[in-house]
Amino acid sequence: MPDFDLAIRGGTLVTAADTVQADLGIRDGRIAAIAERITDTARTLDASGLLVLPGGIDSHVHIAQAAGPGIVMADDFASATRAAAAGGNTCVMPFALQPRGASLREATHAYRALAEGQCHIDVAIHLIVSDPTPAVLGQELPALIAEGYTSFKVFMTYDDLVLNDRQILDVFDVARREGARVMVHAEGYDTIRYMTERLERAGQTTPYGHALSRPELVEREAAHRAISHAELVDLPIVIVHVSGEQAMEQIAWARARGLKIHAETCPQYLTLTAEDLKGRGSGDPMAGAKYVCSPPPRDTASQAAIWRGLQGGVFEVVSSDHCPFRYDDARGKLNPRAKESFRYVPNGIPGIETRLPILFSEGVSTGRISLNRFVELTATNHAKLYGLYPRKGSIGVGFDADLTLWDPNRRETITQANLHHGADYTPWEGFAVTGWPVMTLARGEIVAEDGRVVGALGHGRVLDRIAQAAPHP
Ligand code: URP
Ligand code: ZN
Ligand code: ZN
Ligand code: ZN
């Protein structure tokens, strides 16, 4: 019997810390050896000329999540994990959403059942707490955390999800006691409502109004409030999808006070602007619906600020915030009410397959960030923040053999025709990139190769995690 099931030979291994020329030996789905030369193997993959990266971990994606009435998300677990694998990812983290008035426990178990057997790559499930009743705070949430659902998101906006300040404090308190990680969607409900109604009265109802209704102030104000609540409860939090300098300033301010505030941004805030919500030269203002997400993309000065934050350490993770709706579809972006007002355009854009190529091309190929920083931002820090480390997120003996073979020189043009998601468009149509994932291995098996998804549905598992217990009286 050979020592290894598979050897990856001749590649350049990249971790958050190092870049080394070495072979990898894989056994039973895990990395079993790193050596100058590995020969005693059943199979060999030639990675010469390629980078061998830890598979991408996307810790913020929305899959098969309940949207508004009559609105349907465009991906189920099969299509989302297929697209993720093709884009060089080996683990994604979607959200089990508690509908108001319903049990969080039941919603979570039903959501997990949708995922079981339907994934190409591993998934780990976060929770969305929309109704923190005494039963949820006292029993359901602690029990779910103990079961391995150790992270959840709270929203400061959206009619059906928003929590008030007291509810946020109560949820933070449970997280503090049980050792869970909380992600915060920081945009202020009341400021958005005020702006939305003002814009509608003025007749500004097209999708571009979405950007106007959520200026940076809305995000800055909510970030400040979330940070203050976190300080009061003594809980580290993650502020997700940060779009510009004003929220960044709040995060830097909090850290200067010694608070543990983590931060995430997304490719849309590096590459899109509010102008895209005007329809991008199509002549059709409704085409701007393709770019409606929250927070909205800002301007080129904000993009530059986000780059500084990626270089300087404000951001620890870059996620996609994949939240796919079909555009030309009555249950998607162009639903029957979308023309009435931007408030009826479902929020979110697809990006699970394009996150890594866009960040690599715009970040590494241009010299803005190092290869090691790229790995840290796209894999390692996701695993560390959300309890998957040291099982996932790096290349080392004992880690899952979750790997992406990456061609740093390959030029591609992003186009809907070549993507694998369930949406009918990509916001990055025609976007040229340098650097491309040519093969994805999940726990030692090839799941995607050259744009084709070859792994079996059901190879991906639903992962349980262990709370970082931080008992608090
Ligand atoms: O517009 C967005 N980002 N939709 C997805 C849900 C969320 O807030 O992350
Ligand atoms: Zn959000
Ligand atoms: Zn999101
Ligand atoms: Zn398998």
Domain that holds residue 391: 1-458
From residue 161, how far is each of 156, 190, 292, 355, 420 by CA, in Å? 8, 13, 18, 26, 29
Q: What does the pLDDT read at residue 236?
A: 97
Q: pTM of the entire structure?
A: 0.98
Enumerate residues 6+ apart whose C-beta is below 8 A from 98.
104, 107, 108, 127, 128, 129, 130, 131, 136
In a domain, 465, yes or no: no
Q: pLDDT confidence of 469, banded at 50, 70, 90?
A: low
The verdict on the CB of residue 243 being under 6 Å from ligand 1 is: no
Ligand 1 atom at shortest distance from the alpha carbon of 323: 5
Give the distance (Å) from ligand 4 centre to CA of residue 291: 36
Please write the tens of the pLDDT for every residue from 191-250: 999 999 999 999 999 999 999 999 999 999 999 999 999 999 999 999 999 999 999 999
Q: How big is the CA angle at 399 (ends 396 and 403), to the nearest 5 degrees?
A: 85
In a domain, 37, yes or no: yes
Please write the tens of the pLDDT for every residue from 311-367: 999 999 999 999 999 999 999 999 999 999 999 999 999 999 999 999 999 999 999
Give the distance (Å) from ligand 2 centre to CA of residue 190: 16
Sign of CA dihedral 200, 202, 208, 211: negative
In a domain, 471, yes or no: no
What is the spatial distance between Cα 118 and Cα 298, in angstroms, rounded to a whole number?
36
Give the distance (Å) from ligand 4 centre to CA of residue 434: 31
Q: Residue type for 41, please?
A: T
Q: What does the pLDDT read at residue 472?
A: 44
Q: And the tokens for 22?
A: 């070495």
The verdict on the CB of residue 63 being under 6 Å from ligand 1 is: no
Ligand 1 atom at shortest distance from the alpha carbon of 158: 8
Q: Characterize the bridge pairing of strands 89-92 and 122-124.
A: parallel
The verdict on the CB of residue 326 being under 6 Å from ligand 1 is: no
Give the distance (Å) from ligand 4 centre to CA of residue 459: 4
Give the distance (Å) from ligand 4 centre to CA of residue 85: 13
The verdict on the CB of residue 62 being under 6 Å from ligand 1 is: yes
In a domain, 281, yes or no: yes
Q: In which order are the strands placed within the sheet that holds 122-124?
A: 56-58, 89-92, 122-124, 462-463
Q: What does the pLDDT read at residue 470?
A: 52
Average pLDDT over residues 413-429: 98
**What is the secondary structure of 369-404 as a DSSP string?**
S-HHHHHIIIIIHHHHHTT-TTTSSS-STTSB--EE
Number of other CB atoms surrounding residue 118 within 10 Å:
20
Average pLDDT over residues 58-73: 96
Please provide residue 203's backbone torsions phi and psi, each rounded to the nearest 5 degrees: 85, 10
Give the distance (Å) from ligand 3 centre to CA of residue 62: 6
Number of other CB atoms surrounding residue 21 within 10 Å:
10
The partner residues of 61 in beta bridges, in order of sequence, read 322
Q: What does the pLDDT read at residue 95?
A: 98
Average pLDDT over residues 133-161: 98
Average pLDDT over residues 46-50: 98
Please tell me the residue having the least CA distance from ligand 1 atom 5.
348
Q: Which residue spans within 125-188 are E strands per DSSP?
A: 126-128, 151-155, 181-185
Please tell me the residue having the least CA distance from ligand 1 atom 4.
348
Average pLDDT over residues 255-278: 98
Give the distance (Å) from ligand 1 centre to CA of residue 4: 43
For a ligand 1 pocket test, name from 321, 322, 333 the mutation site with the most ligand atoms within 8 angstroms of its C-beta.
Answer: 321
Give the distance (Å) from ligand 3 centre to CA of residue 301: 23
Ligand 1 atom at shortest distance from the alpha carbon of 153: 9
In a domain, 182, yes or no: yes
The verdict on the CB of residue 71 being under 6 Å from ligand 1 is: no
CATH number where 192 lies? 3.20.20.140
In a domain, 469, yes or no: no
Q: What does the pLDDT read at residue 344?
A: 98
Q: Is the pLDDT of residue 147 over 50?
A: yes
In a domain, 468, yes or no: no
Q: What does the pLDDT read at residue 473?
A: 40
Q: Name the percent of the chain lying above pLDDT 70.
A: 99
Q: Is the pLDDT of residue 471 over 50?
A: no
Give the distance (Å) from ligand 3 centre to CA of residue 434: 27
In a domain, 228, yes or no: yes
What is the spatial distance between Cα 167 and Cα 204, in angstroms, rounded to a whole number?
33
What is the spatial distance between Cα 66 and Cα 149, in angstroms, rounded to a whole number?
19
Number of other CB atoms surrounding residue 48 within 10 Å:
9
Q: What does the pLDDT read at residue 468?
A: 72
The verdict on the CB of residue 427 being under 6 Å from ligand 1 is: no
Enumerate residues 6+ apart whose C-beta is below 8 A from 457.
78, 117, 118, 119, 120
For a ligand 1 pocket test, name from 242, 323, 344, 345 the mutation site with the most ligand atoms within 8 angstroms of its C-beta.
Answer: 323
The verdict on the CB of residue 321 being under 6 Å from ligand 1 is: yes
Please tell me the residue having the least CA distance from ligand 1 atom 2.
348
Round the average pLDDT of the chain to a whole number and report it.
97
Q: Total structural domains in the chain?
A: 1
